Each structure stands twice: as structure tokens, then as C-alpha cells.
Structure 1
Amino acid sequence: MADISQANIDQALRVEQLDATAWDAQAHRFDDVCQEQLDVFAAERWPAMALDRLQFFIGDRLVGGCLVMHKTAPLGLGGLAVCKWGPILLNNRLPSAQSDYKAIVDYLVQEYAVTRRLMLSILPRAVPTEQNSALEYLREIGFNQGASLPFPNRYFVNVDLSDEEMRASFNQKWRKHLRNSEKNELRFEHVGPDKMSEFNALYEAMTARKQFPDYSAYDSLNHLMDNIDGSIRPEIFMVYDEEGEAVAGAIVFVGGDTAVYLYGATNDKALPMQAGYFMHWEIMRWLGTQERIKWYDLGGTDGFLGLHQFKKGMAGKAGAITTVPPVMNYAHWFIPRLLGEALFLARDVKANTGRMINNLRKKGPSDQN
């Protein structure tokens, strides 16, 4: 059994279950909110999983929440409960934030791993600090490390700065490219959801041109944009050339204290015009005007060196490069542990095989030695 602190249990955690509409409507209140913790995203992305949408109170104080996906195996022989990038805290700057997180995790262990006899998997949120207290606590109470990303680096830009301070933070080469981009008569616009079709056309043309496999949840993006509560809908940013043609675009999740770069798209004109530098700079400036946003999470690189250099230069001296934590697993009972590990192994084999096949397809016959 996990080594759960009695002090955490003694905090008298009170739990409330919300329906899908109510959960998504209040999600914007949480500092740690992300799209993975939204019902509208999870229900579309993983339709075979049941969803619990939980709010946690200590006394009358709302402290956090968690969307948990779960599925029970036939005959009640186990199953999985998954929390991706959660639990989420209402206010992660409070002195009690760590103890609030621990109390919520302790509840999840008791409810899903012990009572429901499931293997509980938690993927902690990536944070722009070397120390990840959530990951440390999961290890402390007996969670075992599961799968991790092959390229786990995560790049964060500090947008809680003045324009001058942000610009000075970029590395020298990044600033040079930005200056060059600003000479190209580009126009930046923060647009509404009515421009989603314009972004889709740009993205689809880019993926067809580059012929790279897309492992993202892009196929669920239109559903998300059409059905999400307006308080937490991702923002759309577009860049146009002097003739009014869209040359670059981005979809950014703006919620809590961290904005997350979800998707980007460019056409053939964007590279010589260095439109990506111009676009991200203007997004950062816009984020800097949002009261709650402190960080701009640029995501990862999938091992592409050029993308690493681009994002590293943008994170700069004031930003951070950290890693996405591994999945952390806990099973209180033997059979759920055995079943859960087998399910995760099958998933990993399938994913790795798909990546290997796509890599071979991209190589010429002489490269496949």
C-alpha cells in the first residue's frame, strides 16, 4: 500500500462530482488547468473511457480538481484509472499548495487503487522548474515509473516580463532572426473561432507538404473548438503577408498561469520571411498583457535539432528547459497491477511500431540498411 501521510487524510477532504458541462464551465478558475483535464477534450479523444470530474474541498475552501478517466476489465479483475496532467490546483501559489496536492492524490489512491481495484496512473504536469514536487510525492508514496517520452524536453518562455526584458532574454541569433522578420511587412492578428477554417487549410497544406506523421490530437481540435466553454476556448493567432495571404498561424491554450502552444502551421512563404519568429514574438507580447499568465509552454521537439535550437533560443535566459515527467503507476492489488502493466506494454509496442514504420517509409531504399 502507498505510504500515505495520516496528516493528509486528517485534512477532511470533501469531494464533489460534477457533470461535464459544469466541470468545463469552471475549469478556467484553476491555475493548473490544461486541455487534457477538460471533459470536452477527453471524451472525444478517449471515448471508451468513463470520466469522473471531481472537485476537492478542505472545509469550505475549494483547493483543486481532477478529471479521471477509467475503465474496468471484465469480471472486475482490474482495470485502469488515468489522470493526465492533474490533479489541478485552484491556486498553486498558496503556502498550502503542496499539502493540498498530496491530500488529493491520497484520495485518488484510496478511491481508485484500493476501493475500485484499478491501477492508478498519474502523469504529472510539466513545470518550468528543476524540482517537480508532484513527481517527488508520487515516488515517495510508492508509485512506480512507467513510460516516458523519447524526447522529454519541454521549453518555457517567461512572459511575466516587459517587452524589453523578454526581448533581451532571447539568445543573440533568435533576436537577429526576429529583427529580420520585422522588416517583411507582416501583420499579426488575434482572431476568433470563425477563422478556424483558415487555420485548418494552412495546417493541412503544411502536413501534406512535409509528409510527417502526426501523433497529436489534431483530429479532435475542431470538435474541441466547436463545443468547448467559451471561458477556456483556445486562442487563434494568424500572420498575413502584405498581400493579405495567411502565411503562419498558431492555436494556443490560454488558461490558468501557463499558456500552451498546441499547434502551428506555415506555408512556403513563411520560412524566407521568418514568419515564425514574428508570430511567436507577438503571441508572447499578447500573453504578457494577460493578468494570470506567467509562462508560455512551447511543447517539445520530437527530436528535431532545428526545432530544439529555435525553442531554446526563444526560452532564452529568463525561460526554462525542463522535462515532461514519466507516467507514474500504482496498483494496490496484484491482478490490477499485472493487467495494467500488460495494457501499457501493448500500447507502447503499438506506438513504437507505428513510429518505426513511418521512419522507414520516409527513407529511400539505400537508407534502409
Structure 2
Amino acid sequence: MNAISIERTTHELAGAYSVEVDNVPDQEWDRIAGDFADINPEQTACYSGLHWKGRDSHILLRRDGKAVAGARVALVSLPVMGRGLAFLRFGPFWRRQVTAADPEIYRAMIAALVQEYCVSRGHCLTVLARPHPQYHALECGWLRDLGFAQRRKYDDPERYLVNTALDENARRQSLAQKWRYALRQALANSLDVRVTEDPGEIDAFQNLYVSMMERKQFSSTTPVHLTGKLIANLPEKLKPKLVVACHEGKLVAGATVGLFGDTAYYMFGATSADALPLKAGYALHWWISQWLHSQGFQWYDLGGASHEPGLRQFKKQFVGKAGQIVTMEGEYERWTTSLSRLSADVVFGVRHFKRRIRHGAKFGAATGAKS
């Protein structure tokens, strides 16, 4: 599958909106993105560029000269045909911080995406809405109103969000009884949990993830190797934190936590064989929830469960009574020609085949939270 050549453009949309296509420098993009409450790691230039290796495109929407929405889209085209898929994952971002949400901006952003990727480039546009407790269902409804069709359910639809706006006592009361009991055991084990930006500890965490995959005989496409680059290159407002748990000076568990808008994301996690008897995962994630509360974050998104019953139980019990489990509706699509739709079907067919292979190998992208 080939990368698509990108033409840099700026043009006017109806009304007071203007659209910039592939002409915003990466550092400027991430600086702008930091002003939005609904920015997601995958919508940053730093993550998208590294993960998609240059196969991404972007659109910035301005109103009266001010940036009001943006989206980074992965492009996958079929050889010879030149048509394929424009995939928008967990976007667009359109809600500026400390500003009332305006659905008109969302609709204008989607219109710009359809014009650029469906009409001008001839692709099928696929949108996977961000799993937010308040806005996921709203955005999916707006997509349907705008002519998008839900053609595929999401493979791992449940997203587990801890309510970190609660104070410590309320969060403890929210926990399931078994999770609260395991937490008491973990806290009795004198684990040293802290944030680190030390390059040596970042390398050790990334190596720990590789060792965990080998120990559990899992196959993973999780880009944990990006941890150091994201910490080094994202602006301060969006810079992830690496939280590590050590026992007697030895690293036993760690998590890369993305800090984006009103939500923090459990991006990558790793544990050693020693973590399970120490209940290190409980101490690690409880510490993270405490720290996020002190920083004013509303939600801690733990991600999905990757079809693993033990991981699902851990996350569900941690979310507890006061958190939210958002069931994602699936991928919504727009296309202008039957060839565009057929091309996207081929791309997704390949994706499904690869996922089945990984499932057979006990694929576990988010493994490591429970230990």
C-alpha cells in the first residue's frame, strides 16, 4: 500500500471558515492542538507522523482567522487504483478549552473533511469518534445526520474511564470491593511510585515492555517505543508522563500517561514477573488517579480490554460506580463513488485478517495493567 502525494492548499469554506490542508508545520500544529479540550494523542503531529510514517494528512479549520478545529487523517491507498481509505481516528478536535462547545464547528469540520478526502481525492472517509462520556454519542449522531453510515462495529468497543474529578475518599468508595482489597495489599508492599523523565528509566520501561511480550508470548503492534520521543518532542501542555513503580530499587511496572485536554490516557503499560505478587498495577494506577486529580483532569481513560477477561475485570472494578464505560458505536463512513467504497473494503479486509492472526497469537495491546 502506497503513501499518497500531498498537495498543500488553503481555501475558503462557506461562511467565515477557511481550510488549511497539509500546510501547518508539526510544532505549530501541536501548539494549536494544546488549546483544545478534546485533543487525543493520535491527533497530534508528533504521534501521527511517527506512527503512520509520513502517510498522514491534516486539515485545520479557522473561523475569522482563529483555529477552531483540526484533524489528522491516515491515508492508505491501493496500488494502481490510487483510491483507498482516509481514516480519522479519535477526531476531529473541535472543542476549545474554556469555550462553550459549538456543534456548528463540528459539522463544518466534517464538511471540510468530506470535500477534501471524498470529493477531491476520491477516498472513502472513515471516522472513529473519540470515546468521551458526554460527546461520543452526540458526535456519532451528527455523523449519521451528515450522511455517514455505520458499516463496521469496533473490534474492542468498551472504553473504561475513571472519574478523577472525585476526591480521594469518593474515588475509594467508587472502587469495587475486590479492587479496594487488592489496593490495600499493594500499598502495604512499600512500592516507590513516581513520575520520571530520566532517559535511562524510559529505556528500561520500553525494554520491560518487550520482555513482558516475550514472557507472555504475545504479539503486539503497540508503539511503546514512541514514549521517549513523545516526552521529548511534544509541547509542555501535551507532554506525556512516564509513571514507574519500583520495589527495592527494581522497576516492576510502568505506564505512559498522555495528558490531553480534559482526559488523561493510559497509552502504554508494562510489568515484570515480580509485579503480580506485589499487586504493583493497583498501586501504580491508584497513584496515577491521585496525581491526575491534583492536576485537575476529569477522566482517566484506561483504553479497552483487548478481549482479555482478567484485564476487563481489573479495569471495570477500577472504574467502579462513579466512572464510565463508554461503548463505542463503531466506524462511520462517507464515500462518493462505488470504487471508493470498494477500495476501503479491501483495506479493512486486510486489517481484519491481520487482527485474526494476532488474536491467534493471544494479542494483548494493553496487557500489563493488572499485575
Q: In the TM superposition, what are the counterparts of 1:1-369 in structure 2 within 5 Å?
A: 11-16=15-20, 17-47=23-53, 49-52=55-58, 54-70=59-75, 78-91=83-96, 94-129=99-134, 132-194=137-199, 195-241=201-247, 243-291=248-296, 293-356=297-360, 358-359=361-362
For residues 33 and 200 of structure 1, what CA distance do their matches in structure 2 show? 25
Seen in structure 2, the aligned counterparts of structure 1 residues 254 and 107 have a Cα distance that, compared at 3 Å, is: same
How many pairs does the alignment contain?
Answer: 348
Letter of the 2:244 partner, please give it.
M
User: Cα offset for 1:220?
Assistant: 4.0
For residues 52 and 213 of structure 2, what CA distance do their matches in structure 1 show? 24
For residues 96 and 297 of structure 1, what CA distance do their matches in structure 2 show? 21
For residues 343 and 236 of structure 2, what CA distance do their matches in structure 1 show? 39
User: Cα offset for 1:202?
Assistant: 2.3
Q: 222-231 or 194-203, which moves further after superposition?
A: 222-231
Contact 1:11 1:103 in 2 (8 A): no
User: Cα offset for 1:71?
Assistant: 5.2
Unmatched 5+ stretches in structure 1: 1-8, 361-369
Secondary structure at 2:266's aligned position in 1? strand
Unmatched 5+ stretches in structure 2: 1-12, 364-371
Letter of the 2:265 partner, please give it.
V
For residues 161 and 264 of structure 1, what CA distance do their matches in structure 2 show? 24
User: Cα offset for 1:196?
Assistant: 0.4
User: Cα offset for 1:316?
Assistant: 0.8
Deviation string for 1:59-85 (max 9, x for gaps)?
A: 354322111233566677533322111
User: Cα offset for 1:49?
Assistant: 1.6
Deviation string for 1:8-59 (max 9, x for gaps)?
A: x75532223412221123322211111111222222222252422x322233
Seen in structure 2, the aligned counterparts of structure 1 residues 209 and 77 have a Cα distance that, compared at 3 Å, is: closer
For residues 102 and 295 of structure 1, what CA distance do their matches in structure 2 show? 25
Secondary structure at 2:161's aligned position in 1? strand
Rg comparison, structure with higher value:
1
Secondary structure at 2:252's aligned position in 1? strand
Contact 1:261 1:298 in 2 (8 A): yes
For residues 135 and 19 of structure 1, what CA distance do their matches in structure 2 show? 30
Percent of residue pairs bearing the same amino acid type:
33
User: TM-score, normalization: structure 2?
Assistant: 0.86
For residues 266 and 293 of structure 2, what CA distance do their matches in structure 1 show? 15
Secondary structure at 2:132's aligned position in 1? coil
Letter of the 1:51 partner, please give it.
S
Contact 2:84 2:347 in 1 (8 A): no
2:366 matched residue in structure 1: none
For residues 269 and 83 of structure 2, what CA distance do their matches in structure 1 show? 40
Q: 127-136 or 202-211, which moves further after superposition?
A: 127-136
Seen in structure 2, the aligned counterparts of structure 1 residues 51 and 61 have a Cα distance that, compared at 3 Å, is: closer
Q: 72-81 or 181-190, which moves further after superposition?
A: 72-81
For residues 141 and 206 of structure 1, what CA distance do their matches in structure 2 show? 44
For residues 79 and 54 of structure 2, what CA distance do their matches in structure 1 show? 14
Contact 2:151 2:332 in 1 (8 A): yes
User: Cα offset for 1:163?
Assistant: 1.1
Contact 1:43 1:51 in 2 (8 A): no
Deviation string for 1:271-320 (max 9, x for gaps)?
A: 112111111111001001113x2100001111111111111111011101
For residues 265 and 48 of structure 1, what CA distance do their matches in structure 2 show? 28
For residues 97 and 307 of structure 2, what CA distance do their matches in structure 1 show? 31
Letter of the 1:32 partner, please give it.
D
Letter of the 1:42 partner, please give it.
S
User: TM-score, normalization: structure 1?
Assistant: 0.86
Contact 2:32 2:67 in 1 (8 A): no
For residues 11 and 95 of structure 1, what CA distance do their matches in structure 2 show? 20
Seen in structure 2, the aligned counterparts of structure 1 residues 350 and 201 have a Cα distance that, compared at 3 Å, is: closer
Q: 13-22 or 67-76, which moves further after superposition?
A: 67-76
Deviation string for 1:145-178 (max 9, x for gaps)?
A: 2433333111000001111111111111111111
Seen in structure 2, the aligned counterparts of structure 1 residues 130 and 169 have a Cα distance that, compared at 3 Å, is: farther
Contact 2:195 2:242 in 1 (8 A): yes
Secondary structure at 1:42's aligned position in 2? helix
